[in-house]
Amino acid sequence: MDFEKIKKIGDRKPKITPNIENLDEFKKNFDWENIFDEIPWLPGGGLNNAHVCIDSHVEKGEGEKKAMIWHGKNDEREDYTFNDLKNLTDKFATVLKNLGVKKGDRVFVFMDRLPECYISVFGGLKIGAIVGPLFSAFGPEPVKDRMLDSGAKILITQPELREKISTILSDLPDLENVLIVNKNNRIDSTLIGSDLSYEELMKNAEPIGSIENTSQYDYSIMHYTSGTTGKPKGALHRHQSIVQQYATGKWALDMKKDDIYWCTADPGWVTGTSYGMFAPWSNGLTQLYLKVVTLLQNGTQ
């Protein structure tokens, strides 16, 4: 059935020109090959999400642009440029490599929306690991199900979440190392057993020399279904997904490089990675991360 197109003509043009000015013209000329050409590929034709989202901006001379603004629940603020993120993710890639992580190994991140959560994800991608972000609200059993099914070798978490799942760690035969993030002793705790300090490992790590030359068909992210109709199932995403994430960020969300962008979705959910990491940073935006939304007295956020 044909429907009449409803047009609402505004009184004035928008102050900022949208990425799609004429939808009909855009659809007529759209070609995925043009989008593929806009993506910064690795030398030799490889594709890596971490290179697209972080390193490519440094290579284009935009390293001093602010990439992340993080606000904590106690009014802490930390700012990171693309140069900062490149250096930190390079170092964390070395940390994982020194722990024996290889291309295709599963590295799971069970954290709140701390800066180290994002550094861990992209550091893992740089060596070709398959990264699995987990909801920080999960209890022991959901974490156990996903870690067992995936065969994850590394878990990066924080003291209070590690305590929450302490009873199931011995049930994970593939788990080799637990890394604890506790910057500035945010939580008064000591390392348990063979746990490793993220901060100590990072302090002694040299930036990795080069990114793993992953192909567009290599796997990057592993998300799990919610399990409402059975056991949760792992859904693997390829590095090529960055092409669609970049395109939908640019065309559907109208992202522009000067924007400051806030995604409210948790990284444990696919929206929190596709549109809380990959789409914004592939488009070169500044991302805002709030650990807790604070309502001010006047009711604004």
Give the CATH number for residue 163: 3.40.50.12780
- Give a yes or no: residue 297 inside a domain: no
- Give a yes or no: residue 33 inside a domain: no
- Give a yes or no: residue 209 inside a domain: yes
- Give a yes or no: residue 34 inside a domain: no
| Confidence band of 298 (pLDDT split at 50, 70, 90) | very low
DSSP per residue, the chain: ---PPP----SS--SS--S-S-HHHHHHH--HHHHHHHS-PPTTS---HHIIIIIHHHHTT-TTSEEEEEE-TTS-EEEEEHHHHHHHHHHHHHHHHHTT--TT-EEEEE--S-HHHHHHHHHHHHTTPEEEEE-TT--HHHHHHHHHHHT-SEEEE-HHHHHHTTTTGGG-TT--EEEE--GGGSS-----TT-EEHHHHHHTPPPPSS-----TTSEEEEEE---TTSS--EEEEETTHHHHHHHHHHHTS---TT-EEE--S-TTSHHHHIIIIIHHHHTT-EEEEESSPPPPTTS--
Residue span of the structural domain in which 152 resides: 40-290
| Confidence band of 227 (pLDDT split at 50, 70, 90) | confident
Q: pLDDT digits over 60-86, tens only?
A: 999 999 999 999 888 889 999 999 999
- How far, in Å, CA of 11 to CA of 13, rounded? 7
- Give a yes or no: residue 200 inside a domain: yes
Number of domains in the chain: 1
Q: How many residues does the chain have?
A: 301
- Give a yes or no: residue 4 inside a domain: no
- Give a yes or no: residue 204 inside a domain: yes
Q: pLDDT digits over 118-141, tens only?
A: 999 999 999 999 999 999 999 999
- Give a yes or no: residue 296 inside a domain: no
